[in-house]
Amino acid sequence: MCGIIGYCGPRAAKDVLLDGLKRLEYRGYDSAGICVASAGELTIIKRTGKIAQLREIVPENLPGVYGIGHTRWATHGVVNDVNAHPHTNCAGDIAIVHNGIIENFSALKEKLVNEGHVFRSQTDSEVIAHLVSDFYEGDLETAVKETLQLLKGTYGLICIHAKEPGRLVGARNGSPLVLGVGQEEMFLASDVMATLSHTKQVVYLEDGEVVSITNSDYHICDLRDRPVDKKIETISWELENIEKQGHPHFMEKEIFEQPESVLRAMQGRIDQENATARLGGLNMSTTELRDIERIKIVAAGTSFHAGLVAAYLIESVAQIPCTAELASELRYRNPIVERGSLYFAVSQSGETLDTLSAMRELKRKGARVLGICNVVGSSIAREAGAGVYIHSGPEIAVASTKAFTSQLTAFYLFTLLIARMHNMSFEAGRDFIACLEALPGLIQKGFEEQNHIRALAEKYSRYRDFLFLGRGLNYPVALEGALKLKEISYIHAEGYSAAEIKHGPIALINDETPSIFLVPNDSLRGKVISNMKEVKARKGKVIALCVADDAEVRDTADDIIAIPKAGELMYPFLMIVPLQLFAYYTALKLGRDVDQPRNLAKSVTVE
Ligand code: M6R
């Protein structure tokens, strides 16, 4: 994790760096720092805390038109001012910022210490500054390249030398790095969000590439010094997409954007005439699609939960065996890649290291892996080469919300496409499309419960443990509801299949452990009501999500949240949105840092 930025241009570097770091703060926010060069000297200012706190100690008149910055999510070394980046060599004339993990740093550090280098921090990153200094013979780029030959692990890094005015050198291996090309100014950053207010022209660096920039020029080469010709791409996001636009938090904004983001994910992809979906990005012929024998989904966190819903859906609707697995587990268990299998790597950011590594391992074994990503040009999207972009727009709150419903939309469209090739009739296809097209309006309608959900969240915010219970397609939604509550409110929450509680979790039920039941109007409704009654019989408090006129659920539960009536398969969309709101309002009531909850970061680019 961590966010890095570099700037060369005519403006005060400190302003560009601090504004850029603010945009990258979602990547890590336990400490931050900048290094600005002027008159052959480097000035480093860093401290524990967020960018706002760093801003307080940066002098208004700090000179310098080029520099580097970093916002940290600690891996090696506790959170303190010393371990914050940038890190320097002994002489203090070389500074680096680094995102990733240098796995062989202990051996490198030991050798450097024996040679007389003095280390100040406990970080793995500091070795980079000392190594560059050892290799430096008048050319920073060469010294960085020689250093990279010794590093094992992952990095997106930027290096600056006091003696090379107006120049920065960056490199990437496993952690993202983007070059922003402006008018007489250049940027390097972990993510385009940091540079969007200055330029929309970007070049995505690949692993093994090194970039050297000045204010007016750049060149990119590989580790063996061979120049690499790269295309400049234009970002389609607008600045307003990354602003709060009047909402107190990005999370609230992103929850309420879901009617539009779900619509965007399906726009241009529905083929009414043939009652199917159009997903050209899959790059698969009809024969290839027809030949799929099984589907496997790999992902982490919320994206994994979307994959679990998809697995239920694809198997039951398209009648193709489908499973979802945590990427972090798959990558180390030597998976068997069978002929006829199609894999999906699902990731909002497209940078999650576990998912990226799982995907690489699957590809090494000859698997066909498609990406389902939000961030265009992200590592997973590029390495997959084919798949579905979900077009949610930037998701900035650490807790994922709109990406989940857009990932579901992509999977629902894929299910329609594949089911129509197998067992789904034209009429059933048309019905499925009608249900999908109704979703944006139904999600919007669900917001009518907003004030009631807020009141419930406040009423229940004193409890320390929650169970989230659902079945079938809504079992993964229960897992996702629990994840939302725990990650932003810090309340302990477990998601289970409602059927499973009698196998253990029911022991937790008492009047201090509320259960949130997902009871849609579907074929499993009766079974879930029985599970709810079992909880009530043990004095458990119950909040149920059900359609407004479900009298039986209303009579059984202590409180209900009404959800709109929809096609049976569509309830995951309508269940998750109130659960996101419940988590959001609970966290607000408890005074939590909703967008940047403790210990977390948006993009998990370390193991
Ligand atoms: O960017 P990704 O979708 O690959 O991220 C996966 C998880 O890190 C992410 O969903 C995480 O669990 C969120 N904090 C959930 O809200």
Q: Is the CB of 303 under 6 A from ligand 1?
A: yes
pLDDT at position 522, please? 92
Q: Are residues 230 and 250 in the same domain?
A: no
Q: List all residues 6 or more positions away from 311 whose beta carbon is below 8 Å from its beta carbon.
A: 295, 297, 322, 323, 324
Q: Are residues 77 and 210 in the same domain?
A: yes
pLDDT at position 80, please? 95
What is the 513 CA–ligand 1 centroid distance (Å)?
27
Ligand 1 pocket test target in 193, 250, 303, 376 with most atoms within 8 Å of CB: 303
Q: Is the CB of 594 under 6 A from ligand 1?
A: no
Q: Is the CB of 347 under 6 A from ligand 1?
A: yes
In a domain, 101, yes or no: yes
What is the 297 CA–ligand 1 centroid distance (Å)?
15
Torsion angle, alpha carbons of 466, 469, 475, 479, to 10: 0
In a domain, 28, yes or no: yes
What is the 291 CA–ligand 1 centroid distance (Å)?
31
Beta-strand pair 387-389/368-373: parallel
Q: Is the CB of 596 under 6 A from ligand 1?
A: no
Q: Are residues 295 and 402 in the same domain?
A: yes
Residue 406 identity (one-letter amino acid) = S
Query: Which domain-ending residue is among 187, 207, 235?
Result: 235
In a domain, 106, yes or no: yes
Q: Is the CB of 604 under 6 A from ligand 1?
A: yes
In a domain, 600, yes or no: no
Q: Is the CB of 378 under 6 A from ligand 1?
A: no
How many folded domains does the chain comprise?
3
Query: Which domain-ending residue is among 202, 235, 268?
Result: 235
CA distances to 204, 456, 491, 501, 537 from 509, rounded to whole Å, are 51, 19, 16, 10, 10
Q: How far apart are alpha carbons 399 and 122 in whole angstroms?
A: 30
Nearest to 346 by CA among 366, 317, 320, 375: 375
pLDDT at position 237, please? 81
Q: Are residues 384 and 477 in the same domain?
A: no
Q: Which residue's C-alpha comes closest to atom 8 of ligand 1?
A: 301
Q: Are residues 482 and 511 in the same domain?
A: yes
At 450-499, the pLDDT tens digits run: 999 999 999 999 999 999 999 999 999 999 999 999 999 999 999 999 99
pLDDT at position 605, please? 78
Closest atom of ligand 1 to 303 CA is: 3
CA distances to 143, 218, 534 from 227, rounded to whole Å, are 17, 11, 68
What is the 346 CA–ligand 1 centroid distance (Å)?
10
Q: Is the CB of 487 under 6 A from ligand 1?
A: yes
Domain that includes residue 298, residue range? 246-424
Q: Are residues 147 and 293 in the same domain?
A: no
Q: Are residues 467 and 381 in the same domain?
A: no
In a domain, 438, yes or no: no
Query: pTM (2 decimals)?
Result: 0.90
Q: Are residues 462 and 411 in the same domain?
A: no
Q: Are residues 256 and 335 in the same domain?
A: yes
DSSP single-letter state for residue 173:
E
- What's the farthest any 2 CA atoms get from each other in the chain? 79
pLDDT at position 240, please? 83
Backbone φ, ψ for residue 296 (5° rounding): -130, 140
Burial (CB count <10 Å: 0-12, 13-18, 19+), residue 225: exposed
pLDDT at position 83, please? 97
Q: Which residues of the chain have pLDDT under 50?
A: none
pLDDT at position 159, please? 98
Q: Are residues 215 and 250 in the same domain?
A: no
In a domain, 433, yes or no: no
In a domain, 607, yes or no: no
Residues 158 and 96 sit within 8 Å (Cβ to Cβ): yes
What is the 305 CA–ligand 1 centroid distance (Å)?
10
In a domain, 574, yes or no: yes
Residues 443 and 405 sit within 8 Å (Cβ to Cβ): yes
Ligand 1 pocket test target in 604, 605, 606 with most atoms within 8 Å of CB: 604
Nearest to 433 by CA among 443, 423, 422, 425: 425
Q: How far apart are alpha carbons 215 and 223 in whole angstroms?
A: 23
Q: Is the CB of 300 under 6 A from ligand 1?
A: yes
Q: Are residues 465 and 505 in the same domain?
A: yes
Q: Is the CB of 605 under 6 A from ligand 1?
A: no
The CATH number assigned to the domain holding 556 equals 3.40.50.10490
The CATH number assigned to the domain holding 98 equals 3.60.20.10
* 513-534 exposure pattern, b = at least 16 Cβ within 10 A, e = fewer: bbbbbbbbbbebbeebbebbeb
- Residues with a known catalytic role: 2, 602
What is the 58 CA–ligand 1 centroid distance (Å)?
33
Nearest to 378 by CA among 99, 175, 188: 175
Ligand 1 pocket test target in 297, 326, 352 with most atoms within 8 Å of CB: 352
Residue 163: CB atoms within 10 A of its CB come to 12
Q: List all residues 6 or more positions away from 343 whose beta carbon is below 8 Å from its beta carbon.
A: 295, 296, 297, 298, 359, 362, 367, 368, 369, 370
Q: Is the CB of 301 under 6 A from ligand 1?
A: yes
Prior bond of 86 cis (ω within 30°): yes
The CA-to-CA distance between both ends of the chain, in Å, stands at 10
Q: Are residues 257 and 392 in the same domain?
A: yes
Q: How far apart are alpha carbons 376 and 387 in whole angstroms?
A: 11
Q: Which residue's C-alpha comes closest to atom 14 of ligand 1?
A: 399
Query: Which domain-ending residue is among 181, 215, 235?
Result: 235
What is the 404 CA–ligand 1 centroid distance (Å)?
9
What is the 306 CA–ligand 1 centroid distance (Å)?
11
Nearest to 522 by CA among 581, 579, 578, 563: 563
Q: List all residues 6 or more positions away from 542 whose beta carbon is below 8 Å from its beta carbon.
A: 514, 515, 516, 517, 532, 535, 536, 556, 557, 558, 559
What are the beta bridge partners of residue 468? 495, 516
